[in-house]
Amino acid sequence: MEETIAGTEAAQIPQQRGESLLETAVRYAEERHWDVFPGSWLEAVDGVQRCSCGDASCPAPGAHPARPDWAAQATGSATVARRMWHKQPAASILLPTGRTFDALSVPESAGFLALARMERMELTLGPVTLAPDGRMRFFVLPGGSLKVAELVRRLGWAPASLDLVPLGEGGYVAAPPTRFGSRAVQWACRPTPANRWLPDAEELISPLAYACGRDR
C-alpha cells in the first residue's frame, strides 16, 4: 500500500511498508547500482528519540554520517551492504553524491512548484527525495553539480540569490525509509525502471531556478 501527500499527481510520494533498512539498502545496491553507507540512527534516551551521535541539538538526527571515513566506507556491493546493516540494523541509509549521481537540493515549496512545471514540460525526471528538513533533492547525472552556477547565470540569476544547492563529490543524500527526527525521508519521485537513466542538470535547471526565484 502507498501513502501519498496531497498535491499534484507529480508529487505522489510512496511510503514503503514492511521493508527493513537492511533490505532497502541491499536493493538500492543491487537494483540501482547506487553506493550506500550506514549513517547515524535514532535511539531512545529517557523516552526521547535522540541521534546516536550523542548531540542533543543534532541538526540531522538519525540521518548523517556516523564516522569521518564514510566516503571510503560507501559500497556498491550488496554483500558488503548486508554485512554493514547486520551490524547496525537501525542505521540510516545514506547515498554518496558525485558517483552514480549528483543531486540538486531546493526548498520543499520550490520543489513541488518545479515538479508541477516539469510535468507540464513533459520532462523526464530521475528520483527525487523529500526529507523532513524541508528540502527536495533531484537526482541528476554525475558532474551536474559543477555546471549549476554557470547554468543559473545564463538564466539571468546570481547563483547566491537562489536557494539551489548542488551536491556532488563529498556530499550525500539520505534515502527512504531513513528516519530523520520524528519523520521519514520519502520519495517525491520514486526510482523506477523508466528513470534509471538520469537527466542532465541542464534539463532541470530552468524550472528549478524559476521555482526557487518564486519561492524567495
d(CA 133, CA 55): 17
Whether the link from the prior residue into 177 is cis, omega within 30° of 0, is: yes
At residue 4, the pLDDT reads 35
Residue 16 confidence (pLDDT):
52
* pLDDT value at residue 17: 55
Q: What percent of the chain has pLDDT over 90?
A: 83
CA angle 87, 190, 98 (to 5 degrees): 65
Type of residue numbered 72: A
Measured distance CA(79)–CA(19) in Å, rounded = 17
pLDDT at 108: 96
Report whether 100 contacts 34 (CB < 8 A): yes
Strand partners, 38: 93
pLDDT of residue 15: 41
| Location of C-alpha cell 542538470 | 201
Q: For the chain, how long is the longest CA-to-CA vector?
A: 53
The reported pLDDT for the residue numbered 214 is 85
pLDDT of residue 164: 97
Residues of the chain with pLDDT under 50: 1-15
pTM above threshold 0.85: yes
Residue that is written with C-alpha cell 539571468 in the block: 156
